[in-house]
Copies of this chain bind each other. A is one copy, B any other.
Amino acid sequence: MHVDWLITLFDYFGIVIFAISGALVGGRRRMDPVGFALVGTVTGVGGGTLRDLVLGVRPVFWVEDPSYIIVCVVASVATYFATSHISSLRRALVWADAVGLATFAVLGTQAALAQQVSPVIAVAMGVMTATFGGIVRDVLCDDVPLILRREIYATAALVGAVVYVGLDWTGLDQTLVMAAGFAAALSVRAFGIVFGVHGSDAGTGAGTGELAAAE
Contact = CB atoms under 8 A, between A and B. Distances in A.
Interface in A162-188: none
Given A34-B127, A124-B41, A127-B34, A59 B60 contact: no
Contacts of A115: 59, 63
B150 A31 contact: yes
Interface string A50-61: 000111101110
A196 interface: no
A154 B155 CA distance: 34
A139 interface: yes
Copies in the complex: 3
Contacts of A131: 38
B55 A53 contact: no
A121 B199 contact: no
Contact of A153 (B30, B32, B117, B124): B32
A115 B200 CA distance: 43
Interface centre among A34, A62, A152 (most CB of B within 10 A): A34
B140 A147 contact: yes
B84 A201 contact: yes
Nearest to A62: B121
Contacts of A154: 32, 34-35, 37-38
Interface residues of A, number: 59
A49 B56 CA distance: 11
Given A127-B38, A131-B38, A32 B121 contact: no
A148 B142 contact: yes
B32 A63 contact: no
Contacts of A118: 66
A49 B142 CA distance: 23
Contacts of A34: 127, 153-155, 157-158, 199
Interface of A: 29-38, 41, 49, 53-56, 58-60, 62-64, 66, 69-70, 84, 115, 117-121, 124, 127-128, 131, 135, 139-142, 144-145, 147-155, 157-158, 198-201, 203
